Structure 1
Amino acid sequence: MSDVLKPSRKTPPPEIAALSPPLSPKSEKADLKKSDDVVPIDINIPDNYVQHTLKTQKELPPIGWHNWWKEISWVSTTVLTVTPTIAIVGAFYASLQWKTALFAVFYYFVTGLGITAGYHRLWSHRSYNASKPLEYFLAMAGTGAVQGSIKWWCRGHRAHHRYTDTDLDPYGAHHGLLWSHIGWMIVKPRRKPGVADVSDLSKSAVVKWQHRFYLPLIIGMGFGVPTLIPGLLWGDYLGGFVYAGAMRLCFVHHSTFCVNSLAHYLGETPFDDKHTPRDHMVTAFVTIGEGYHNFHHQFPMDYRNAIKWYQYDPTKWFISVCSMLGLASHLKVFPDNEVRKGQLTMQLKKLRRTQDNLLWPSDSNDLPIISWEEYLKESEKRPLIAVAGFIHDVASFMDEHPGGRHLLAKNIGRDATTAFFGGVYDHSNAAHNLLAMKRVAVLRGGQPHGTEELAIPPSQKLRIARYNEMSSPYSSTAVSDTETLLG
């Protein structure tokens, strides 16, 4: 069963609320300090924290030939270079057995799920609750991916979500594809990442256990298990070390890194285009389901990345199966109504871009207003026809009219409203739209009450307008976020 996201604190009944005065900010903080061992690190940050920090925090100097060796993060650089070196060199000495290959793929998914289902969706975003056995399994599996401890990884990821596309984002995509993929780990960050609270993780027994035994867990899960299982079961110690150990680790690393890089560059933005995250099936295949990143950044506490049944998201499927087995609970799902609002907003924006590239009839406020006598006099000089209160110049369409030139000619200088709206022929929407493009004037008193509907061409009855454009007296509106439908 999936739980809709709910406020973390329930509103007290009116009778209780009336008896209990609201807590002041100071008493809230004091109560928090009494009830929790660890106070959230961001509890006292100012309202203008981002702007203030970017303005006052000093960046490290630019990297050049004179200082590059001082700016390298040697620990992460060693891990990211030695591992592929072992895999490439080892491949010349260890033949790949099919059993080892299958196990390497299997262990890739095990350790990858440790990151996606564990580090990411469980601990970073708290998108579901996990039983203790599942927590320990995910902690050990995630350690086998060798990407830092849960606490360190989640602290950086929460900062990434809070400060997306700013200089407080530890692996901001605005710095370039290479930087967001791997550069931020190779080079020391130019400034500290923005503050992000992980006090909840500091109270987790599993997180503390993993943090305490992280080094032996890396050795055991990163290389021990993938070496021993092939070795003990079918005698392929070297192949297990090379393929299930080193090579598998390279793939897991870059699979995760693609979430920071490709998922911010490749694909579409079906839910929101405020920031760089995007959705793409290819990225999803590469990242064990994390490629529907536009959805994820818009609804980060949802346990899903893919919301359609056919979209590739094995992490979601894994969590769902764990829920069926009683190992996971309280799977959070963002309200479908709000998800669909995001989709509608983006669809309206696409329609608006299409609409802005089309030519539309002149606004009635921009057209001259003429009397019936002026209309009759002017129609003697050029082919003008009155329809629904507007004067139309049909000179360019006389020889193109499907019914023949004579039908237009006989209505020059007349009111052809009845004939146009079904009296002679019930014209198509395309004809209505085209006629509106030929407006040259407004007939004074020529729009009787109740016929306003005839004056609006079909293409404009569902025209997309922004909230500050809804000034037409002939418009009715249905508002959705910053875009509206005039209909």
Structure 2
Amino acid sequence: MSATTGPAPKRATKDIAEEIPSDLNIPDNYVQHTLTSQKPLPPFAWKNFREELNWLSVVILTVTPVIGLIGAMFTPLRWQTFLFSVFYYFVTGLGITAGYHRLWAHRSYNASLPLQYLLAMAGSGAVEGSIKWWCRGHRAHHRYTDTDLDPYNAHKGFFYSHIGWMLVKPRRRPGVADVSDLSKNPVVRWQHRHYLTLILVCGFLIPTVIPWLLWGDARGGYVYAGVLRLCFVHHSTFCVNSLAHWLGDSPFDDKHTPRDHVITAFATIGEGYHNFHHQFPMDYRNAIKWYQYDPTKWFIWVCQSVGLASHLKVFPENEVRKGQLTMELKKLKETQERLAWPSDSNDLPVISWESFQEQSSKRPLILISGFIHDVSNFIDEHPGGPHLLVKFIGKDATTAFFGGVYDHSNAAHNLLAMKRVGVLHGGMRQGIDDKVVPPSQRLKIARYNELSSPYGSSTAYSDGEGILG
């Protein structure tokens, strides 16, 4: 075998190995098994910081802003350079959000080869690692969100999830995540192979040369469109791991930390509707409403319109609405549980007509819809006058209450139910079933185990004296 062909079989073997799904044979209890069987490194200690820090990341993330700030002190900012810096920020930012994130990590749409190469180069200019490396970590983040197998676990604090996880060597390896599909992609392999060159060209050479050629500001291009622009892109992306798990609300699911907020959206080129994204990661959108800020979504849509992208994935609207409804009902359930409600009919004593008559002579009791109500603290407050209540003491006022004299409001019915003290034995009339439940309880939210309760209304009959007292 010649020297030129000798290494080929090894490369082929490696390529084949990379194309086998890495999570193909993991156990069903992989997370628990890994956390219990693999010991993490000891907690970070400053006395050993030379061994504990990831020095490549430390240098990139600390030296870059220092160079940028010093350069800005001695380099005037021309308006052309400023506008180009903002433009190039969006170019390289979209390389991450539309390329690394939504195209390669989540496969939320298909991109033509020209668009893939463009996004791969733009993403290289963001200097955040190769597509393959970045997506491997991000897929682990989605699969193991908020666990110790999540490479940027939000439960470890804002600073850690924002930047700390890159500065310090990880305490344990991230959970397994398959990237075999990316190993087969020629654009991903091209970028991975030439990544260092692409960083220099797309991260620093292009933003320096263009201002130099067009308006003679090479130094300004390097400082502002190159170095400082890179700092902004870095922290814009990092906010997806930190701010998007800290600020906002959870309109689709509150099981994990991802949240939605417009401020995060503006800070991350549209990645701020993170609760939606974690629920529906294959959707090419982050923002589902037309007025929500998501330039990455708009960019992908425009690419589709001009034939550069296709097969934009959208999660079924019916299922999206179910997620929203679930959280809306959960919030209503929490509000519901903070309110006082009438006693359950199963908890009230069953009283005979004779006992009802006898006890009505001692205190003002009125029968409505089969329930006995004590109105002693409401007679003087009755809007229709106390005489209308007094005349029905010891009597059935169902007809009068429900429109015979006045068709009382929902509020009146709800308040009346709070005054229940007993149930009349056999006292509910036929055909008034809808009058028994007060309006506030007709749409009362119940958990599934409450709906399937095996217990019925089997309160024992009693006509004992003083049971209502």
Same fold (TM over 0.5): yes
For 2:272, the equivalent position in structure 1 comes to 291
The one-letter code sitting in structure 2 at the alignment partner of 1:300 is P
Aligned to 1:425: 406
Q: Which of 285, 300, 310 pairs up with 2:291?
A: 310
**Residue 58 of structure 1 is aligned with which of 16, 36, 39?**
39
Q: Aligned partner of 1:260: which letter?
A: N
AA at the equivalent of 1:365: N
Aligned to 1:361: 342
1:140 to 121, 135, 140: 121
Picking from 384, 407, 421, the partner of 1:440 is 421
Instruction: Report the counterpart of residue 355 of structure 2 in structure 1.
Output: 374
Q: Post-superposition shift, 1:310? A: 0.3
Rounded to whole Å, the distance in 2 between the matches of 1:463 and 1:65 is: 56
Correspondence for 2:215 among 223, 228, 234? 234
- Distance in 2 between the 1:261 and 1:335 partners? 28
**Distance (whole Å) between structure 2 residues aligned to residue 227 and residue 254 of structure 1:** 21
Q: Which amino acid in the other structure matches residue 316 of structure 2?
A: P
Counterpart of 1:181 in structure 2 is 162
- 2:386 matched to which residue of 1? 405
Q: Are 2:40 and 1:73 aligned?
A: no
* Structure 1 residue runs of 4 or more that deviate by more than 4 Å after TM superposition: 471-475
Question: Once structures 1 and 2 are overlaid, which stretch shifts more, 341-350 or 61-70?
Answer: 61-70
Q: 2:134 aligns with which of 153, 156, 161?
A: 153
Tell me, in whole angstroms, the C-alpha distance in 1 between the residues paired with 2:45 and 2:283.
43
Q: Percent identity?
A: 74
8 Å contact 2:81–2:225 — kept in the other structure?
yes
CA shift digits 1:9-66 (9 cap, x unpaired): xxxxxxxxxxxxxxxxxxxxxxxxxx99721010000000000000011111112232
Query: Is 2:68 the counterpart of 1:110?
Result: no
2:179 counterpart residue number? 198
Q: Supply the RMSD in Å over aligned alpha carbons.
A: 1.4
| 1:167 pairs with one of 140, 145, 148 | 148
For the 8 Å contact 2:45–2:52, the answer to whether it is kept is no
Aligned to 1:46: 27
* Deviation readout 1:221-268 (Å, 9 max, x if unpaired): 000001111111111111101000000000000000000000001001
Amino acid at match of 2:35: L
Alignment CA distance shift 1:37-1:73 (3 Å): closer
Give the distance between the partners of 2:150 and 2:207, measured in 1 at CA. 34
Q: TM-score of the superposition, structure 1-length normalised? A: 0.89
Whether 1:331 aligns to 2:312 is yes
Equivalent residues of 1:143, 1:222 under 8 A apart: yes
How many Å apart are 1:450 and its aligned residue?
A: 2.8
Give the SS at the match of 1:295.
helix
Question: What SS class does the counterpart of residue 170 from structure 1 fall into?
Answer: coil
Say if 1:55 and 1:37 are closer, same or farther in 2 by CA, change over 3 A: closer
| Distance in 1 separating the partners of 2:205 and 2:335 | 57
Equivalence for 2:4:
none
Q: Deviation of residue 448 (structure 1)?
A: 2.9
Partner of 2:368: 387
Give, in whole Å, the separation in 2 of the partners of 1:386 and 1:242: 83
Cα–Cα, structure 1 residues 131 and 301, in superposed 2: closer, same or farther, change >3 Å? Answer: same
Q: Are the equivalent residues in 2 in contact too, given 1:128–1:328 (CA < 8 A)?
A: yes
Looking at structure 2, the residues matched to 324 and 364 of structure 1 have their Cα atoms a distance apart, in angstroms, of 62
2:11 matched residue in structure 1:
none
The equivalent position to 2:258 in structure 1, one of 277, 287, 296, is 277
**Distance in 2 between the 1:426 and 1:171 partners?**
60
Distance of aligned partners of 1:308 and 1:393 in 2 relative to their CA distance in 1, 3 Å threshold: same
**How far has the Cα of 1:472 moved from its partner?**
9.6
Which amino acid is the alignment partner of residue 184 of structure 1? W
The separation in 1 between residues aligned to 2:90 and 2:333, in whole angstroms, is: 42
Is 1:458 aligned to 2:435, yes or no? no
Other-structure match for 2:249: 268
Partners of 1:452 and 1:474 within 8 A in 2: no
DSSP-derived class of the 1:440 partner: strand
Counterpart of 1:341 in structure 2 is: 322
Correspondence for 1:3:
none
Tell me the residue number matched to 1:300: 281
Alignment match, 2:8: none
Closer/same/farther in 2, CA of residues 474 and 239 from structure 1, 3 Å limit: farther
Letter in 2 for 1:381: K
Letter in 1 for 2:74: Y
Give per-residue Cα distances to partners, 1:108-137, cap 9 Å, x unaligned: 000000000000000000000000000000
Q: CA deviation at 1:452?
A: 2.0
Give the Cα separation in 1 of the matches to 2:436 and 2:94: 60
CA distance in 2, matches of 1:75, 1:461: 62
In the alignment, what sits opposite 1:22?
A: none
Report SS of the residue matched to 2:445: strand
Per the normalisation by structure 2, the TM-score is 0.93
Q: Could you tell me which runs of 5 or more consecutive residues in structure 1 were left unpaired when the two chains were aligned.
A: 1-34, 476-487
Please report how far the alpha carbon of residue 143 of structure 1 lies from its aligned counterpart in structure 2 after TM superposition: 0.1
Contact 1:264/1:278, CA 8 A, preserved across alignment: yes
Counterpart among 224, 228, 235 of residue 247 in structure 1: 228
Secondary structure of 1:306's counterpart equals coil
Q: For residues 415-456 of structure 1, what are the alpha-carbon distances to aligned partners after superposition, in whole Å with 9 as ceiling and x for unaligned?
A: 111111111111011100000000000100011333221110
3-state SS of paired residue (1:385): strand
Structure 1 distance, partners of 2:231, 2:357, is 82
Match among 187, 190, 215 for residue 196 of structure 2: 215
CA shift at 1:365, angstroms?
Answer: 0.6
**Structure-1 separation of matches of 2:58 and 2:316:** 42
Distance in 1 of aligned mates of 2:194 and 2:118: 14
- Tell me, in whole angstroms, the C-alpha distance in 2 between the residues paired with 1:200 and 1:65: 40
Q: Counterpart of 1:271 in 2: which secondary structure?
A: coil
Cα distance in structure 1, aligned partners of 2:391 and 2:18:
90
- Contact 1:155/1:196 (<8 A) preserved: yes
Alignment CA distance shift 1:143-1:236 (3 Å): same
Equivalent pairs counted in the alignment come to 441
